[in-house]
Amino acid sequence: MIGDSITDCGRSHPAGEGLFDALGKGYVCFVDALVQAIAPEQRIRIINRGLCGNTIRDLKARWREDVLDLKPDWVSVMIGINDVWRQFDSPLQAELIVLPCEYEAIFEELIQSTLPRLKGMVIMTPYFIEPNRSDPMRTMMDHYGAICRRLAEKYGTHFVDTQSAFDAALEHLHPMSLAWDRVHPVATGHMILARSFLRTVGFGLD
């Protein structure tokens, strides 16, 4: 499972697996715990390759070492939050900004180079925990999420709409109860991500 700080969530480095919070304290850890509890006989090994601050460019730079060289059966990708965020918190640093066309081109390149080697892939959208869809950052995040959906449909991968999952929770909860900065979730937010992921790949929790 590869991505940015939401995936990283304090995992061990260089290898994000093993005991004592090695998988981090976020959705990857929750997915692993639930999978081991629901289907221990399948002996599913989960490795966390999230890295704080990453954009799709960073994933491309480390893709061989952190994905291909591990020869995984499945790959889950959630990336895009920093690609969008830098457009709002660092708008004058053009070198940090990954615009939609570049984001989509790199993501598609990674899918094309990896999918033939796998049993399957899961694409998770980036998200912004903000119910006002007219908010500029929320609007932009939805655009990047639509790119993820389009690529998932084009290549027949599993697709996790994390934004929709948070939107459902936001009908009852204030954004600040899920993430102080509307990006980095508390445990409840990470469980929302884990639940959405497991539902998508067929581990029913209802």
Query: Would you name the residues annotated as active-site residues?
Result: 5, 181, 184
Whether 158 and 152 have beta carbons less than 8 Å apart is answered as: yes
Report which of 168, 157, 155, 156 is spatially closest to residue 195, judged by C-alpha positions: 168
26 contact partners, CB below 8 Å, separation of at least 6: 6, 7, 8, 9, 10, 185, 190, 193
Neighbours of 132 (CB within 10 A): 12
Distance CA 161, CA 57 (A): 22
Whether 68 and 116 have beta carbons less than 8 Å apart is answered as: no
